[in-house]
């Protein structure tokens, strides 16, 4: 029986999109606190403000993150959600699950929590939504002992890394994103669980420039697959697209009549560098001009494939707006080989990546201000200084265009004679 009337929320039960209200009501049949979630949310719909209090520090021994305290500001009305903390569980790479492990998580969360979850949180964790303080150590015990799972990140630490589907089910992945995500997560468990950074730090792994996990715009240390040799072409398959036997863009546009496929209009003319031509029946690509945007490959996946000399481009500094405005990551390392290690836990893998990551951390942990994302630290000191610190030779690829103002920070040692000058000698030549 419903514990609270929810006339506003009830209006979200109709319509074709899955209804979280219907789902919550069903869960409330066995988990009574779900009625209080509904009741408090209904009050928010009426008041047009939240009824959750500000934070509260809770956690498990030895960890500085992974659990977020949450308390109702109307606990008398909704005692079932008076204490309603969040538990972040580190997801497996690419979010594949067996039903066995999911059902065991459900069973644990039925006993020890509200039964409600987020699959998944924005950073990638499984989010178990709503439990009380005495349950936290019990949950951690069961997670680590029985489920063989661990908490994810929160606070000023390495946040739970995440990756695209990669080689598991995609033909374009330029390195093993799942192995990378797993290796880096395992290698930096201490950085993930014990906040020691100025602020949060995210790293994400996408296999190609399509960037399905949004590494370039949603992570501080963005790893995006790339190649440096030639796009592979199967000319016979190109003909199949031209003849209309293969659907362009893998059939992505099949719902509307866009007319017959026109390779000139849909591929060659849309290439941002105009590096493609038809020579008779053959498609030619001037690979030295290609910026690997993936458009042609996306349109003709049977005919074109990324090259085979593959690795990743590393960009640094993306973040959401607070405080200095949203930033995208800036391209720092154009090409890094991403070689997986051996064994479990893996050893000897992704060494180039780890070296660059640790060098970045070493500087940022020293110089970053409290609650300053690394992208903001780089903005504060300037890209040239950051490149010097990282011992990276500046190249035109680091900028969209050269600076348009003349304010160069010359250093004393860069100017003949340095900055030391004698004003008296100057004045002897130039009267005031």
Partner 1 sequence: MGYDPENPMQGRITDIGPPHYEQYFPPVIKENYGKWKYHEITQPGVLKHVSETGAECYTARIACARLISIELIRDYCKVADDHCEGFLRWTTRNNVEFMVDSEAKLQPLLDDLAKHGMMPVGGTGAGLTNVVHTQGWVHCHTPATDASGVVKAVMDELFDYFTSMTLPAQVRIALACCLNMCGAVHCSDIAILGVHRKPPLIDNDVISAVCELPLAVASCPLGAIKPAKGINTKGEEVKSVTVKEERCMFCGNCYTMCPAMPLADPEGDGIAILVGGKISNRISGPKFSKMVIPFLPNTPPRWPETVDAVKNILEVYAKDANKYERLGDWAERIGWEKFFEKCNIPFSDKCIDDYRLAYDTWRTTTQFKYTSHIK
- In three-state form (DSSP H/G/I as H, E/B as E, the rest C), the secondary structure along 191-244 is HHHCCCCCCCECEEEECCCCCCCCHHHHCCEEEEEEECCCCEECHHHHHHHHCC
The residue among 236 and 320 lying less far from partner 1, judged by its C-beta, is: 320
Smallest gap from residue 23 Cβ to partner 1 (A): 5
* Spatial CA neighbour of 56 closest among 41, 66, 72, 71: 71
The residue among 299 and 361 lying less far from partner 1, judged by its C-beta, is: 299
Q: Are 204 and 222 in contact (CB under 8 A)?
A: yes
The residue among 47 and 418 lying less far from partner 1, judged by its C-beta, is: 47
Half-sphere CA count of 94, side-chain side, radius 13 A: 18
The residue among 10 and 367 lying less far from partner 1, judged by its C-beta, is: 10
Smallest gap from residue 428 Cβ to partner 1 (A): 43
Q: How far is CA 115 from the centre of its chain?
A: 27
Smallest gap from residue 57 Cβ to partner 1 (A): 12
The residue among 164 and 197 lying less far from partner 1, judged by its C-beta, is: 164
The Cα 270–Cα 294 span in angstroms is 11
DSSP state of 148: -
The Cα 188–Cα 361 span in angstroms is 12
Smallest gap from residue 277 Cβ to partner 1 (A): 18
Half-sphere CA count of 174, side-chain side, radius 13 A: 30
CA diameter of the chain: 97
Smallest gap from residue 242 Cβ to partner 1 (A): 16
Smallest gap from residue 420 Cβ to partner 1 (A): 33
The residue among 162 and 360 lying less far from partner 1, judged by its C-beta, is: 162
């Amino acid at each position: 029986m419903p514990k609270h009337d929810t006339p506003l929320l009830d209006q979200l039960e109709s319509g074709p999109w899955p209804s979280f209200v219907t789902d919550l009501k069903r869960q409330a049949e066995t988990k009574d606190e779900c009625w209080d979630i509904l009741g408090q949310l209904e009050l928010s719909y009426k008041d047009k403000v939240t009824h959750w209090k500000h934070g509260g520090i809770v956690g498990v021994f030895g960890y500085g993150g992974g659990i977020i305290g949450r308390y109702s500001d109307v606990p008398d009305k909704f005692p079932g959600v008076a204490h309603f903390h969040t538990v972040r569980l580190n997801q497996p790479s690419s979010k594949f699950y067996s039903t066995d492990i999911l059902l065991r998580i459900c069973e644990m969360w039925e006993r020890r929590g509200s039964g409600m979850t987020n699959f998944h949180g924005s950073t990638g964790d499984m989010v178990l939504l709503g439990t009380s303080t005495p349950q936290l150590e019990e949950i951690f015990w069961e997670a680590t002992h029985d489920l063989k799972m661990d908490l994810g990140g929160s606070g000023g630490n390495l946040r739970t890394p995440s990756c695209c589907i990669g080689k598991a089910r995609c033909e374009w992945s330029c390195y093993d994103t799942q192995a990378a995500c797993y290796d880096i997560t395992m290698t930096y468990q201490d950085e993930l669980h014990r906040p020691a950074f100025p602020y949060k730090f995210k790293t994400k792994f996408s296999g190609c420039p399509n960037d399905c996990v949004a590494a370039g715009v949603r992570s501080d240390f963005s790893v995006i697959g790339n190649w440096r040799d030639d796009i592979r072409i199967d000319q016979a398959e190109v003909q199949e697209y031209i003849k209309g036997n293969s659907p362009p863009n893998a059939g992505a546009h099949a719902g509307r009549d866009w007319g017959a496929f026109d390779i000139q209009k849909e591929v060659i003319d849309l290439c941002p560098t105009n590096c493609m031509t038809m020579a008779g029946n053959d498609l030619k690509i001037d690979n030295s001009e290609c910026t690997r945007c993936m458009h042609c490959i996306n349109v003709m996946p049977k005919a074109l494939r990324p090259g085979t000399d593959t690795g990743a481009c590393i960009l640094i500094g993306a973040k959401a707006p607070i405080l200095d405005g949203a930033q995208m990551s800036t391209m720092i390392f154009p090409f890094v080989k991403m070689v997986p290690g051996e064994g479990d836990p893996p050893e000897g893998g992704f060494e180039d990546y780890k070296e660059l990551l640790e060098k970045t951390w070493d500087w940022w942990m020293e110089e970053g201000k409290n609650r300053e994302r690394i992208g903001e630290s780089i903005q504060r000191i300037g890209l040239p200084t950051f490149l010097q610190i990282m011992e990276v030779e500046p190249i035109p690829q680091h900028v969209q265009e050269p600076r348009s103002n003349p304010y160069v920070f010359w250093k004393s040692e860069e100017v003949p004679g340095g900055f030391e000058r004698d004003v008296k000698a100057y004045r002897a030549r130039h009267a005031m």
